[in-house]
Amino acid sequence: MSGKDIIILGIESSCDDTSAAVIKNGEMLSNIVAGQKVHEKFGGVVPELASRAHQQNIIPTVDAAIKEAGITKKEIDGIAFTRGPGLLGSLIVGTSFAKSFALALNIPLIEVNHMQGHILAHFIKNKEEPCLRDAVRQGYPKFPFICMTVSGGHTQIVLVKDYFEMEIIGETIDDAAGEAFDKAAKILGLPYPGGPLIDKYAKEGNPKKFLFPISNIKNFDFSFSGLKTSILYFLQKEMAKDKTFIEKNLNDICASYQDTIIRSLFKKLIKATREFKINDVAIAGGVSANSLLRSELVRIGKEESWNTFIPKFEYCTDNAGMIAIGGYYKFLKGEFVGQDVVADARLKF
Ligand code: KG4
Ligand code: ZN
């Protein structure tokens, strides 16, 4: 690569993971994630506990990311941070830290939308890949592509026309897909976050054993709240007859429930790609770590003649690498923000 190297520090603190990452010319040097075990027993993220834990974790996490990258803080060219959407108290910790660090180092500050970050994670380069400024090439999705972003807070089908030119063409009208996983897990007596556990038990279960309803919402939108209610009533009914029902059938319940969520997602994804005539199809967000979602994307992708893009596991759930890569592309465009920037829990794009 000719010219000066560009080193971006990314900071992510929108929910319950404190993360810092360093990328150089779009290539990942470090991506540290400090999770928060404190929420496990509550069956969901407790916002006030999350912001306190971010305050404790942020300095050691940034320090670890800089050390692992093998750079000094003087070499950093810009600081990218998640401005939103997310939990306000959590976002404020990362935003305030990024602002003061940028001020102290006298370098540009770059805001990144968390949901755009999930999508842009597809453009992170890894050490084994050649260094390329422009990611539009074989190996990365080509614009325009469709990305289904499925996380604990959002479920969206996004038409991605360029790095920061994105249009939401469908989204959930109530619960997110990750929330549907986590809430069912809570009903089943599993700790938070339950998505990975349902995925694990489902591997040993029969997905056709129990039948749950798929919602019928118009266009490319989703609804998952009815599904959550249906598993609740189903389990209440079965447990009244046999107190050991969950214990005896956990794998089959998980497999059947997971299958319903994944089928609901693909129903709309297929519809959207056909209508918009798009062949490059990506997934992003925490639920894209789900093994059935990943294998179905490959299987259905072959049937539909899609070029499919699945993020590496470490870039599915919340991480600062995805914020740093967003920061890198904004840095190239000179899109910076001032010290008057504030966190926005409902930030749109
Ligand atoms: O993107 P993310 O880390 O945080 C948000 O921005 O929400 O997504 C977290 C969500 C949680 O709901 C978690 O249960 C879900 O992703 N998740 C999974 C799996 N891994 C994480 N859901 C299903 N199967 C998985 N393997
Ligand atoms: Zn996320």
Ligand 1 atom at shortest distance from the alpha carbon of 194: 14
Cα 122 to ligand 2 centre (Å): 14
pTM over the 0.85 mark: yes
Q: Give yes or no for residue 72 having a pLDDT over 70.
A: yes
DSSP code string of 69-122: HT--GGG--EEEEEEESS-HHHHHHHHHHHHHHHHHHT--EEEEEHHHHHHHGG
Its CATH class, for the domain covering 7-126+315-333, is: alpha beta
Decide whether any atom of ligand 1 lies within 6 Å of the 84 Cβ: no
**Mean pLDDT confidence for 140-146:** 96
Ligand 1 atom at shortest distance from the alpha carbon of 192: 14
pLDDT for the residue numbered 36: 85
Same fold, 7-126+315-333 and 145-311: yes
Cα 316 to ligand 1 centre (Å): 8
Decide whether any atom of ligand 1 lies within 6 Å of the 283 Cβ: no
CATH architecture designation of domain 145-311: 2-Layer Sandwich (3.30)
**pLDDT category, 129, cuts 50, 70, 90?**
low
**Mean pLDDT confidence for 146-171:** 97
**pLDDT category, 128, cuts 50, 70, 90?**
low
Summarised one tens digit per residue, pLDDT across range 304-321 is 999 999 999 999 999 999
**Mean pLDDT confidence for 249-256:** 98
**How far lies 290's CA from each of 194, 214, 309, 338, in Å?**
12, 19, 14, 38
Decide whether any atom of ligand 1 lies within 6 Å of the 195 Cβ: yes
pLDDT for the residue numbered 131: 46
Q: Give yes or no for residue 137 having a pLDDT over 60.
A: no
Intra-chain end-to-end CA distance of the chain, in Å: 32
Q: Give yes or no for residue 133 having a pLDDT over 50.
A: no
**pLDDT category, 37, cuts 50, 70, 90?**
confident
Q: Which amino acid is at 311?
A: P
Domain ranges of the chain: 7-126+315-333, 145-311
**Mean pLDDT confidence for 201-224:** 96
Q: Are 78 and 327 in contact (CB under 8 A)?
A: yes
**Mean pLDDT confidence for 171-191:** 96
Pocket test for ligand 1, best of 33, 114, 287 (most atoms within 8 A of CB): 287
Residue 128 DSSP code: T
Phi, psi of 162 (to 5 degrees): -160, 180
Parallel, antiparallel, or unpaired for β 145-150 and 109-113?
Answer: unpaired
Summarised one tens digit per residue, pLDDT across range 84-126 is 999 999 999 999 999 999 999 999 999 999 999 999 999 999 8
Q: Whose CA is nearest to atom 20 of ligand 1?
A: 196
- pLDDT mean across residues, the chain: 94
Decide whether any atom of ligand 1 lies within 6 Å of the 178 Cβ: yes
